[in-house]
Amino acid sequence: MFFSDFMNEYDVTIIGAGSAGLVAATIANQLGAKTALIEKNKIGGECLHTGCIPSKTFLHSANLFQEINNSRNFGLPNCQIGKPDVKKIMEHVKSVIDSIYQHERKEIFEEIISMHTGQRLFVSSSNLKVFLLLMVFL
């Protein structure tokens, strides 16, 4: 599908389903625009997969570890818990990402927005080509 096709078919076409793209697409839809959202990778973008969510989840575990190890400073019994298991913490981080990603699935957004996931190629400044994931596997 070429970018000109998107321009003919949709009022608004947004490239990138990160925080900005998801909000823009949702608002465009609420304003009554026929909206398409193109994502080359995973819905959710940096914030969900590598930024805000993993970093804050990791920091939460680190803070918890610190507080438990300093429990006496809070008037609690001494609770030294040894070394943190980083592999387990990363599993927890992944589970938090997965639980949020469940609510950002393509199918959920497709109820209101036309989603197009897959690699895209600029053919010229005005032509955008989307290779749907399905085609990549064929």
Ligand X SMILES: Cc1cc2nc3c(=O)[nH]c(=O)nc-3n(C[C@H](O)[C@H](O)[C@H](O)COP(=O)(O)OP(=O)(O)OC[C@H]3O[C@@H](n4cnc5c(N)ncnc54)[C@H](O)[C@@H]3O)c2cc1C
- d(C-alpha 123, C-alpha 58), whole Å: 41
The answer to whether 127 contacts ligand X (rule: CB under 6 A) is no
Minimal distance, residue 22 CB to ligand X, in Å: 7
Residue 2 CB-density burial (10 A; 0-12 exposed, 13-18 middle, 19+ buried): middle
Interaction with ligand X in 39-98: which residues (CB under 6 A)?
39-41, 45-47, 51-52, 55-56
Contacts of 121 (CB under 8 A, 6+ apart): 128, 129, 131
Q: How far is CA 85 from the centre of its chain?
A: 26
Minimal distance, residue 78 CB to ligand X, in Å: 33
Nearest to ligand X of 36, 77 (CB atom)? 36
The answer to whether 38 contacts ligand X (rule: CB under 6 A) is yes
Q: How far is CA 9 from the centre of its chain?
A: 26
Tokens coding 2: 């070429």
Residue sitting closest to ligand X (CB): 18
Minimal distance, residue 67 CB to ligand X, in Å: 20
Contact (Cβ atoms closer than 8 angstroms) between residue 36 and residue 42: no
Tokens coding 79: 């609770």
The answer to whether 25 contacts ligand X (rule: CB under 6 A) is no
Nearest to ligand X of 40, 106 (CB atom)? 40
Say how many residues touch ligand X, by CB under 6 A. Answer: 19
Pick from 3, 6, 14, 17: which binds ligand X (CB under 6 A)?
A: 17
Q: Which residues bind ligand X (CB under 6 A)?
A: 15-21, 38-41, 45-47, 51-52, 55-56, 120
